[in-house]
Amino acid sequence: MLNIGIGRQIERVFPGSIQTLAKITGYLSKSGRDRRVATKHAQTAEAAAAADDAEIMSRAEAILAEAISLGRDGNFTIVPSVFPVSATDNCNLACIMCPGHTGMKGPALTFEQAEGIFASLNSNRASFGKPVYLDVTAGEATLNRDLHRVFKSFRERFPEATISVITNATLPLRGRVTEIFEHATAVAISIDGATKESYERIRRGSRFENVIRNAKDICALKDGNVQVIFVAMDQNIAEMAAMVRLCSEIGAKQLIIQGVEQGSSPFLREGDSMAFDAPAELLKKYLVEAQLEADRLGIMFSPTPGVRDKANTSPISTVEKRDPIEARKAWLQGVKMCHVPWTIAPRMNHTGDKLTPTRACCHMPGNKIGIGGFREEFADMPVGELYNSQRYWDIRQGLLDGSISRDACKGCQYADSYQWTAAQLREIEAGIEQAKSMGTEAA
């Protein structure tokens, strides 16, 4: 309440002000009530949406099983949302952790090959999916002399899609190389050392100073919307905080820490070390240091779940430490709900002069389990047709019932990143209803 004496003084100086103040107070009170009502309605809507999400997630397995059944009969078709393709089998470096470092010399994706692939991704009559992401990996993409044309064509066909490219930043931004990055909407630079010594020891054939110069130019061109990918090993994990500072220096906004994936020959050569066996407490120390630097400098710091788990810093690690059996069940459930074979096309690589699908997921092993390798069987089949073949429906069924997860997905550190969402399941369910209605009309 306004003090009466003070109110009279105000009224003498500003005639009519008390009445105006009363009106304002009323408006504010009404406004406050309106805000409270709006907040309550928003909270109610959020609760209802959460309940709807929980309800459809509880039916996830049944929805996917029905889609598989319809798909086997040719009544449910999928177009991959993400398309990973090898731009080239060539690379100008010999990184110690790369399986191709014994000699990446081979063909590159041609403009004509890319056009044929894009034409097979017709989503007009698909029950689920549409192209939203072109993922160019393998080799050094900027060595492909057609890639700027490939990107331009994909952008014209699918204007809302993302074009992703990973580079080692060894080539300067000139001509077609600049055009590649201009067309790309998601750019990542591989840098595995914050110092000249460690970087050049791991990425053999490169010059640290040139890479940093080119990385700065790329970041400037993309206004900082660039990821830096750092492959963690015992020999470089102490540099994670320094890598954060390097990201700030070159102008990149995000640093991704990915654990090295160890293998046998041809991965290792004499004198190379890809060990990633540091004690959890030491790795955790380096991660914490890097996170503090990232917070200070405004860099997004993103270790993969596998790296966090190795350092016992993720919820999964806590579960595993307490109850390995429950952790195993959680992992199997995560693999069961992985949507990779529903949303990501098979990786395309070169076999001689042909571009052929190699495997359903780059983390799956090859032919030994009968599901990973496609190279010979589907060499000439369009991607859209392969994605709806019986072989692919077998893979989806195998993930869902758990029959292939033990072998096909062993050691995968990315399953957490590819879990079905309520929105995706609604799209699947809508596609099922559409397929059923079309079947009824046909009958």
Q: Cα 154 to the chain's mean position, in Å?
A: 19
CATH number of this structure's domain 79-313: 3.20.20.70
Alpha helix ranges (H) inside 298-421? 305-310, 315-322, 324-336, 340-343, 383-386, 390-401, 405-408
Sequence-ordered strand ranges (E) for 65-143: 82-86, 94-95, 133-137
Sign of the Cα pseudo-torsion (154, 159, 160, 164, in order) = positive
Q: How far apart are CA 144 and CA 90, in angstroms?
A: 8
Tens-digit pLDDT profile for residues 176-230 = 999 999 999 999 999 999 999 999 999 999 999 999 999 999 999 999 999 999 9
Tens-digit pLDDT profile for residues 358-376 = 778 876 655 444 455 666 6
Which of 236-240's residues contact partners 24+ apart within 8 Å by CB, and which partners?
236/192, 236/193, 236/194, 236/198, 236/202, 237/276, 237/278, 237/282, 237/283, 237/286, 238/286, 239/193, 239/194, 239/195, 239/198, 240/286, 240/287, 240/289, 240/290
Sign of the Cα pseudo-torsion (419, 423, 427, 429, in order) = positive
Both tokens of 187, joined, read 């750019």
Residues 127/435, Cβ–Cβ less than 8 Å: yes
For 171-199, the DSSP string reads S-S-HHHHHHHHH-SEEEEE---SSHHHH
Q: How far apart are CA 274 and CA 234, in angstroms?
A: 7
- Nearest alpha carbon to residue 342 among 359, 330, 360: 360
Q: Cα 394 to the chain's mean position, in Å?
A: 24
Q: How far apart are CA 181 and CA 225, in angstroms?
A: 11
- One pLDDT digit (tens) per residue for the chain, 443 residues: 444 444 444 344 445 554 554 554 555 556 666 777 667 666 777 777 888 999 999 999 999 999 999 999 999 999 999 998 888 888 889 888 886 654 557 778 899 989 988 888 877 789 999 999 999 877 899 999 999 999 999 999 999 999 999 999 999 999 999 999 999 999 999 999 999 999 999 999 999 999 999 999 999 999 999 999 999 999 999 999 999 999 999 999 999 999 987 654 444 444 456 788 899 999 999 999 999 999 999 999 999 988 988 887 644 333 344 455 666 666 677 778 889 999 999 888 776 677 778 778 876 655 444 455 666 677 778 888 889 999 899 989 988 988 887 777 776 767 778 899 999 999 999 999 999 988 665 55
Residues 114/88, Cβ–Cβ less than 8 Å: no
Residues 187/147, Cβ–Cβ less than 8 Å: no
- Nearest alpha carbon to residue 93 among 145, 141, 139, 144: 139
- Nearest alpha carbon to residue 214 among 168, 167, 169, 181: 169
Q: DSSP letter at 349?
A: E
Contacts of 394 (CB under 8 A, 6+ apart): 371
User: What is the CB neighbour count within 10 angstroms for residue 402?
Assistant: 13
How many C-alpha atoms does 249 have within 13 Å on its Cβ side?
13
Contacts of 219 (CB under 8 A, 6+ apart): 226, 250, 251, 252
Whole-model pTM? 0.75
For 203-239, the DSSP string reads EET--HHHHHHHHHHHHHHTTT-EEEEEEE-TTTGGG
